[in-house]
Amino acid sequence: LAVPSDSPTIFDKIINKEIPADIVFEDDKVLAFRDINPQAPVHILLIPKVRDGLTGLSKAEEKNCDVLGRLLYTAKLVAKQEGLLENGFRLVINDGPDGCQSVYHLHLHLLGGRQMNWPPG
């Protein structure tokens, strides 16, 4: 398991286009790209382009509310772009060791294209 850390992550390299990623959406605040190890036919990560202390949701403060709302709304836009609005989709945020978080730059997982299970394991 990854240890929580405030160091730069692989996502900074993706934001800065230093390593390739299959980017499906980008604006001034949010970047969305396909997960390298997809757990569903559609598996996209949405991240704030400026981390601003958000290593994970557990570090959220009131100043982050705008970008948090923007991430959720962008997830809906990307779900639409991926053709997921009719059958549905799942959003996941893993936080900390118990949440199996491995990259300490806040991200939403957008999963779709198959029936999900509940409760998650």
The answer to whether residue 24 forms part of the interface with ligand 5GP (CB under 6 A) is no
Of 36 and 65, which has the nearer Cβ to ligand 5GP? 36
Distance of CA 65 to the CA centre of its chain: 16
Q: Which two tokens stand for residue 39?
A: 């757990």
In the complex, the smallest distance separating the C-beta of residue 23 from ligand 5GP, rounded to whole angstroms, is 9
Nearby residues of 99 by Cβ (< 8 Å), 6 or more positions away: 56, 93
Q: Taking CB under 6 A as the rule, does residue 21 contact ligand 5GP?
A: yes
Residue by residue, DSSP assigns 7-73 as: S--HHHHHHTTSS---EEEE-SSEEEEE-SS-SSSEEEEEEESS-TT-SSGGG--GGGHHHHHHHHH
Residues 62-81 that bind ligand 5GP (CB under 6 A): none
For residue 57, state whether it binds ligand 5GP (rule: CB under 6 A).
no
Among 101, 106, 108, 110, binds ligand 5GP (CB under 6 A): 101
Does position 103 bind ligand 5GP by CB under 6 A? yes
CB closer to ligand 5GP, 14 vs 62: 14
User: Measured from the CB of residue 21, what is the shortest distance to ligand 5GP in angstroms?
Assistant: 5
Nearest to 40 by CA among 108, 93, 110, 100: 110
Report the interface residues with ligand 5GP, using CB under 6 A.
Answer: 10, 21, 33-37, 45, 94, 100-103
